[in-house]
């Protein structure tokens, strides 16, 4: 080897050593990017850059509802706080998967699953979608639809270090934070608390970029995993209204412009700017889904004035009017059937909105009554939550356990609360009428045995739609619903009961299933004197001839006593 060759060999060595001196980490970030990892389940792409319309909000003469892949979608969900299970309880993906299975077993058709910004962007522009991949794979496996809950800069009015990438939090010059009490403190649920300047252009740019990457990944995932379209919607942040409504006062948050305590108006402006930008990013994606925002008990318990449902608060209207947000819902945390009824109507009165309960505690024993009240009013309902994080339960206040399921001794064992089976049964009935429940006036929806917060064991109740009157009698705590289309009623009760129809004459009664608007009879049912004995857990179609229009009393029979 001559000298020149030696020089050639040594020069790269020297350069290598020089670079290794400067502390730069040259790790190849591509190994973190699940899009470049081998996915044994992935198939050839079926999408090729075209827009895929998955869901949207549609309207008819009776209101609005969610449509998924061209069909009405009954909004019956439960939330799975995967963030808590993984951050605090240290669940593995295998542990989390059991929860998806449990959600499917409960019978809901959609689940709300958080995606924390920090779990997809590990460092600036280093994206890793393994978490999302796992969540969507489980959803597909259990035939669940997913609403992604985007946990970004504003989680219940705070910024949490568990949810936001550290490169954002470490660079206050580029991504300013508000001055406030409590900043920098540790909360064992969520890490260190901060208040990022939610609508600062630098932050919005990075957060929308992450959302765009997420939506692109979902598109790619679905394209290569059978096109089952698991994601149907995106919740933008979580209860972002908590910031202006509570945090500013609680923690003396200062305005970056005035230096004085921030006004509520300024706080809302920042929140609105942020969620609007994020919502628009979702809506601009090729994978088209609806966006929504949930409020933290928007009514503060004030649902009615006398018997009239109040107007939605102005900030709810403001968010509802944002271009990037399709629908708004309430996390009401109320066990009052009457209040749930009122809130659905309040939110349905907003232009282009689909009223829904985005969260309500799953430990309410009257969850079936609450679900029925919401659905009977042309709304939707999601249970918070399927199972509360054991860590939250052990470290939180007494009422933090809001799951409809309790944790068992291990991550894959569960204890079902007393109302679990009843809830599951009602959900099974409601899902049978998915294709028609939003296709009629709520005045023609009977809701039985929900006049009080809890169903009576023995009850006789007479309710009128616009076409018929039904006298409902149970001695077995049955509750349920009937959808009156003028010539037939599709009816489901959770337990045995009898119904007697008046203002019309029954001509036929059948049981069995309804799928995509097609009723398949498994046989006729006898009836006598316009009276039918109903067995719990079955769908009935009662065909009748109406004697003419009458005044509906459906509203008056939900949550009145």
Partner 1 sequence: MKKILFAILPLILLSSCKGTHGEKTIKLENQTVYDAPYRYENSDDNKARIVYKNGVPVLIQSASLRTDLLKNADFLKAAEMEDYFAIAKETNMNTMEISLMWSEIEIDKDIYSFDELDTYLNFAKEYDLKLNIIWYGSFVDGETHTANIPKYISENPNEYPLIMDLFDFANYGHCEIIDWNNDKLLNREQIALYSALNHVYEWNHNNDNYDPIIMVQLGQGVDRLQRWRVNQYKIPGQDGEIMSFDEAWALSNKYIEAMGKAVKYSKYKALTRSEFCEQSAVVNYVRNIKNIEYVDIVCPTYLHEITTMKNGIKNFVDEYEEMPVINSENWANDINYKQIMVSTAMGGSGYVSYQLSAPRYFPESPKGTLYKRYNPDGTTLEEKFVEHFSRATDTKLVNGLLNKAFVPATNASRGNFASLGLDSSFNDKVGEERTQKIYLKSGILVDYTNPEDVIGYAIYDRNFIYCTSSKDAQLTVNNCTATVAQQGQFNEEGEWESAGNVTLENNKTLIMEAGIAYRIRLATINPLPDPATLISNQYRSTSDSIRS
Site residues (CB under 8 A) for partner 1? Answer: 3, 6, 10, 13-14, 17-18, 21-23, 161-162, 166, 169-173, 176-181, 183-184, 186, 188, 191-192, 194-195, 252, 254, 259
CA 484 vs CA 428, 432, 464, 465, 527: distances in Å? 19, 15, 10, 7, 18
Both tokens assigned to 387: 């199972």
Residue 252 CB, shortest distance to partner 1, in Å, is 4
Q: Between 10 and 41, whose beta carbon lies closer to partner 1?
A: 10
Provide the minimum distance between the beta carbon of 246 and partner 1 in the complex, in angstroms, as a whole number: 16
Cβ 463 vs Cβ 475: under 8 Å: no
Q: Closer CB to partner 1, residue 177 or residue 466?
A: 177
Closer to partner 1 at the Cβ: 167 or 333? Answer: 167
Q: How far is the CB of 162 from partner 1 (least distance, A)?
A: 7
Contact between 253 and 179 (Cβ < 8 Å):
yes
Q: Least distance in Å: CB of 201 to partner 1?
A: 16
Helices (H) and strands (E) in the chain — how many of each?
14, 32
* Cα 442–chain centre separation: 23
Q: Return the DSSP state at 515.
A: E
Which residues on neighbouring strands pair with residue 116, listed in sequence order? Answer: 151
User: How long a stretch of residues is the chain?
Assistant: 561
DSSP secondary structure letters along 263-292: PHHHHHHHHHHHHHHHHHHHHTSSEE-EEE
- Among residues 179 and 266, whose Cβ is nearest to partner 1? 179
Nearer to partner 1, 302 or 395 (CB): 395
Residue 259 Cβ, how far from partner 1 at the closest point, in Å? 7
Q: How far is the CB of 143 from partner 1 (least distance, A)?
A: 35
- Which strands form 531-534's sheet, in the order they lie side by side? 459-464, 469-474, 497-502, 531-534
Question: Distance (Å, rounded) from C-alpha 390 to C-alpha 98?
Answer: 15
How many CB atoms within 10 Å of residue 118? 24
Both tokens assigned to 19: 């670079």
The DSSP code for 242 is H
Shortest distance (Å) from residue 268 CB to partner 1: 21
Q: How far is the CB of 236 from partner 1 (least distance, A)?
A: 24
**Closest CB to partner 1 among residues 51, 171:** 171
Nearer to partner 1 by Cβ, of 7 and 40: the residue is 7
Main-chain phi, psi angles of 260, to 5 degrees: -90, 175
We find the least distance from the C-beta atom of residue 409 to partner 1, in angstroms, to be 18
Closest to 269 in 3D by CA, of 282, 255, 259, 290? 255
Nearer to partner 1, 125 or 508 (CB): 125
**Facing residues of 160 across strands?**
193
CB of 10 to partner 1, least distance (A): 6
Q: Which is nearer to partner 1, 94 or 181 (CB)?
A: 181
| Least gap, CB of 294 to partner 1 (angstroms) | 26
Burial 41-66 (b: 16+ CB within 10 A, else e): ebeeeeeeeeebebbebeeeebbbbb
Nearer residue to partner 1 within complex by CB, 176 or 227: 176
Alpha helices in 321-419 (DSSP H): 337-348, 367-376, 390-395
* DSSP H/E element including 249: helix 248-250
Choice between 13 and 308, CB closer to partner 1: 13
Nearby residues of 505 by Cβ (< 8 Å), 6 or more positions away = 530, 544, 545, 547
Q: Any bridge partners for residue 387, and if so which?
A: 405
């Amino acid at each position: 080897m001559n000298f020149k060759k030696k020089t050639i060999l040594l020069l790269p060595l020297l350069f290598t050593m020089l670079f290794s001196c400067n502390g730069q980490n040259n790790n190849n970030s591509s190994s973190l990017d699940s899009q470049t990892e081998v996915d044994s389940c992935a198939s050839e792409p079926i999408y090729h850059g075209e827009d895929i319309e998955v869901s949207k909000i549609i309207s008819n003469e009776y209101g609005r509802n969610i449509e998924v892949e061209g069909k009405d979608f009954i909004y019956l969900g439960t939330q799975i706080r995967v963030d808590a299970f993984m951050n605090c309880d240290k669940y593995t993906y295998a542990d989390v998967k059991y929860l998806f299975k449990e959600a499917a077993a409960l019978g809901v058709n959609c689940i709300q699953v958080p995606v924390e910004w920090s779990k997809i962007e590990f460092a600036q522009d280093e994206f890793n979608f393994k978490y999302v991949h796992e969540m969507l794979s489980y959803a597909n496996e259990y035939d669940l639809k997913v609403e992604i809950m985007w946990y970004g800069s504003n989680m219940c009015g705070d910024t949490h270090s568990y949810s936001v990438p550290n490169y954002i939090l470490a660079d206050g010059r580029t991504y300013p934070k508000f001055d406030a009490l409590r900043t920098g403190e540790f909360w064992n649920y969520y890490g260190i608390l901060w208040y990022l300047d939610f609508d600062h252009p630098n932050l919005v740019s990075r957060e929308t970029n992450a959302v765009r990457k997420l939506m692109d990944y979902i598109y790619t995932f679905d394209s290569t995993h059978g096109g089952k379209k698991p994601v149907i919607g995106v919740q933008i942040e979580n209860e972002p209204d908590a910031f202006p409504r509570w945090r500013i006062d609680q923690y003396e948050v200062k305005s970056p412009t005035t230096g004085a305590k921030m006004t509520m108006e300024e706080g809302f402006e920042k929140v609105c700017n942020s969620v609007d930008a994020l919502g628009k990013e979702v809506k601009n994606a090729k994978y088209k889904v609806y966006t929504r925002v949930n409020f933290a008990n928007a009514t503060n318990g004030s649902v009615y004035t006398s018997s009239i449902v109040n107007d939605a608060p102005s900030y709810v209207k403001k968010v509802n009017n944002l271009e990037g947000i399709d629908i708004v819902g309430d996390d009401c945390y109320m066990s009052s059937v009457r209040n749930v009824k009122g809130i659905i109507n309040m939110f349905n009165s907003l232009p282009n909105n689909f009223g829904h309960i985005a969260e309500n505690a799953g430990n309410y024993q009257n969850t079936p009554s609450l679900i029925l009240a919401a659905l009977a009013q042309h709304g939707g309902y999601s249970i918070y939550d399927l199972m509360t994080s054991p860590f939250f339960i052990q470290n939180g206040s007494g009422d933090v356990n809001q799951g409809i399921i309790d944790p068992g001794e291990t991550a894959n064992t569960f204890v079902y609360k007393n109302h679990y089976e009843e809830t599951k049964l009602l959900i099974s009935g409601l899902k049978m009428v998915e294709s028609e429940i939003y296709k009629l006036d709520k005045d023609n929806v009977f809701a039985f045995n929900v006049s009080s917060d809890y169903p009576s064991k023995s009850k006789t109740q007479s309710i009128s739609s616009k076409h018929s009157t039904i006298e409902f009698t149970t001695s077995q705590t049955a509750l349920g619903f009937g959808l009156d289309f003028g010539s037939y009623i599709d009816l489901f009760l959770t337990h045995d009961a009898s119904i007697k129809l008046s203002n019309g004459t029954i001509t036929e009664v059948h049981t069995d299933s309804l799928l995509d608007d097609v009723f398949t009879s498994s046989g006729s049912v006898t009836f006598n004197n316009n009276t039918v004995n109903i067995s719990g857990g079955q769908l009935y179609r009662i065909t009748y001839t109406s004697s003419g229009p009458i005044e509906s009393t459906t509203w008056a029979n939900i949550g009145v006593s």
